Amino acid sequence: MRGLTVDLVGQVSQPGLVQDVSFTVSRGESVALIGESGCGKTVTAMAILGLLQSGLKISSGQVCFQGKDLLTCSPRELRAVRGGAIGAIFQEPMSSLNPTMTVGEQIAEARRLHLKESRKVALRHARELLDRVGIANAAQRVLAYPHEMSGGMQQRVMIASAIACDPALVLADEPTTALDVTIQAEILELLRELRREQGIAVLLVTHDLGVVADFCDRVVAMYAGNVVERSDVLRLFADPVHPYTRALLDSTPHNGQARKALPVIRGRVPVAGTFPAGCRFEPRCVHGGHEACARPQQEADLGAGRSTRCARVAAGDLVLQQVAVR
């Protein structure tokens, strides 16, 4: 993805709702998009598949995939990519699965559409996929409807559907939300096996920094539609360089620390139509008020695969410490 910019148009407008977003996801790699709700993570992921809601318009950028710019593809060409070369795992499986179709038929549908298999062959592969994602009695479960399955099983069905056609990339939007920790660990292990065995690349949208630390190779932190920091996962957790990323980590509980009130980030993510003219995080930043913060921030390369969108950090006059953000 290069320079993706998505505008909100209509009665409420916001140029650059998602602004100048760039990142890559390589074969077998997992990249996390992190940030609070409203920071543009899901909009960025859905733009890849051309699934933006009404009122959202891509004004510039490229989404390069297997030699094509998906933003220039026709609706027919995009349909050939969705569910085939790119799979998607959505946040709420119960609202994503069709309640009127058995789970087997829903998984088989992708193979019939993209791989041109017969219904019989596709259903056989659906049973194999349910078994692969850890659903017991797959031969019986393939005939079940979504409401007959638990939340964890529904999410496994979503994963089976997403990988049905051996995609090169899977977009996973909060795939472990609302699952208990045991099921969450099993889902992550399943995704890890798929990365290792099939070389599937994963773009993970999540709020859960524990999942990021456990599963991902690189991290892209977003705030109010901007990429504010990018880094490999080890460096980001050991030494975040953007005030927003530091604030996110400081507000996360850590094992082995004495009980105390967690610091919080004051205020809220600005809503569309109210983005600041300068640094979008400045009104909430404990280091705000500097003249450099009043200007739009440019992403600066820090070397070793790291970058930040903070002029003060890039200039070397702001080195973050472990501070409580109030």
pLDDT in tens, 146-184: 999 988 899 889 999 999 999 999 999 988 876 778 888
Residues 6+ apart with CB under 8 A from 60: 3, 4, 5
At 278, list the tokens: 């300068």
Any idea where the domains of the chain sit in the sequence? 2-216, 238-315
Q: Is the pLDDT of residue 207 over 70?
A: yes
Tell which wins on pLDDT, 47 or 93: 47
Q: Give pTM, 2 decimals.
A: 0.92
Among candidates 89, 9, 94, 13, which has minimal Cα distance to 45? 89
CA distances in angstroms from 24 to 1, 134, 203, 220, 221, listed in the order given: 6, 30, 9, 10, 14
pLDDT in tens, 277-311: 999 999 999 999 899 999 999 999 999 999 999 99
pLDDT category of residue 326 using cuts at 50, 70 and 90? very low
pLDDT at position 178 is 65
pLDDT category of residue 94 using cuts at 50, 70 and 90? confident
pLDDT category of residue 37 using cuts at 50, 70 and 90? very high
Instruction: Report the pLDDT averaged over residues 75-81.
Output: 93
CATH class of the domain defined by 2-216: alpha beta
Q: Is the pLDDT of residue 80 over 80?
A: yes
pLDDT in tens, 97-122: 999 999 999 999 999 999 999 999 99
* Side-chain-side CA neighbours of residue 28 (13 Å): 5
Q: Interhelix angle for 103-114 vs 119-132, to 10°?
A: 120
Q: Terminal CA-to-CA distance of the chain, rounded, Å?
A: 35
pLDDT category of residue 245 using cuts at 50, 70 and 90? very high
Q: Is the pLDDT of residue 323 over 60?
A: no
Q: Interhelix angle for 151-162 vs 181-198, to 10°?
A: 10
Q: Is the pLDDT of residue 321 over 60?
A: no
Lowest mean pLDDT among 89-103, 190-204, 245-259: 245-259
pLDDT at position 102 is 97
216, 30 in Cβ contact below 8 A?
yes
pLDDT category of residue 325 using cuts at 50, 70 and 90? very low
Provide the mean pLDDT of the chain.
91
174, 91 in Cβ contact below 8 A?
yes
Q: Is the pLDDT of residue 276 over 90?
A: yes
